[in-house]
Structure 1
Amino acid sequence: MQVYFLCTGNSCRSQMAEGFAETLFPADWRVASAGVETHGLNPRAVAVMAEDDIDISQHESKLIDHDYLMSSDYVITLCGDARDKCPVTPPSVNRLHWPLEDPAQATGTEAEIMAKFRAVRDEIEQRVKKLQVEIEG
């Protein structure tokens, strides 16, 4: 099984999804994330994942790899921009869209911003768990 998580800058949502998938999915499943652009790894995403004992600090913001994309079993877009800009995939690729808020756009105090990151992290975790159940049948 090969799963690809895509977002605009591969800095927050797709990185968190990759981190959960690497932790929760069976070891023989291939998991990656990428973006239509690279924005670097968001330190707040690293921090909230660490709160769940998942270390994504060594992840890198990457552009979409065409070969990986075309050979994936599942491609999940986590924002409208990635959904709209993602290249056309063959019919064998299951395409899913998870319309998640961008926590990097959150405003307010640091506590309010971190609360948004945690909320998005928790939603991603639930969606990754649900995806695993659906794939495994």
Structure 2
Amino acid sequence: MKILILCTGNSCRSQMAHGFLQSFDDSIIVCSAGTQATGKLNQQAVAAMKEIGIDISHHTSDPVEKYLDEEWDYVITVCGGANEACPAFLGKVKHRLHIGFDDPSYATGSDAFVRSEFRRVRDEIKERFYQFYIENIKNR
């Protein structure tokens, strides 16, 4: 089973989703990429995942072009905010899904508020991707 999680910057939401899917089942191949990959991870996302015992600090922020020639069972886009358009993936894909989330990297305010936004989105990603995993992967 091969899953590609796609976003624009590949620094935050797609990285968290990647970490969760891999934590649910290490036998599946999970990659993440961005149409405008930043080349780095959002450190707030890394910290939010570390709080719950998932280390994504070793992930890389990769351009989608790296994966265009591969075949995928699922390509899942995670962009959700009004400020951002979800990218299209034109590669070989069996199933395309969109599971959108707010981008916590746009949160402004106190440090405590920004951290709470990363935690909120992290928890939403965990819930929705676990549901996806149970419905589409675990029992297949």
Q: Give the TM-score normalised by the residue count of structure 2.
A: 0.88
Letter in 2 for 1:48: A
Question: Identity over aligned residues, as a percent?
Answer: 45
Q: What does residue 76 of structure 1 align with?
A: 76
Is the counterpart of residue 122 in structure 1 residue 123 in structure 2?
yes
State the Cα distance separating 1:67 from its structure 2 match: 2.0
Letter in 1 for 2:34: G
Higher share of residues assigned strand? 2
Letter in 1 for 2:129: V
State the Cα distance separating 1:74 from its structure 2 match: 0.8
**Aligned mates of 1:104, 1:110 — CA distance in 2:** 12
What CA deviation, in whole Å up to 9, does each residue of 1:40-99 have, x standing for no partner?
Answer: 10000000000010001111110111023xx1111110015563x323345x52111112
- Structure 2 unmatched ranges of 5 or more: none
Q: What does residue 28 of structure 1 align with?
A: 27
**Aligned mates of 1:14, 1:105 — CA distance in 2:** 15
Higher share of residues assigned helix? 1
Q: What does residue 56 of structure 1 align with?
A: 56
**Aligned mates of 2:133, 2:76 — CA distance in 1:** 13
Structure 1 residues 61 and 82: alpha-carbon distance in aligned structure 2, compared to 1, 3 A threshold:
farther
Paired residues of 1:12 and 1:45 also in contact (CA < 8 A): yes
Equivalences for residues 75-94 of structure 1 within 5 A: 75-79=75-79, 81=84, 83=86, 85-90=87-92, 93-94=94-95
> What is the aligned length?
132
Q: What does residue 68 of structure 2 align with?
A: 66
Paired residues of 1:35 and 1:82 also in contact (CA < 8 A): no
Q: Give the TM-score normalised by the residue count of structure 1.
A: 0.89
Runs of 4 or more consecutive aligned structure 1 residues displaced over 6 Å after TM superposition: none
What CA deviation, in whole Å up to 9, does each residue of 1:83-132 have, x standing for no partner?
Answer: 3x323345x52111112100000010011011000000000001111111
Letter in 1 for 2:105: A
- Structure 1 unmatched ranges of 5 or more: none
Q: What does residue 17 of structure 2 align with?
A: 17
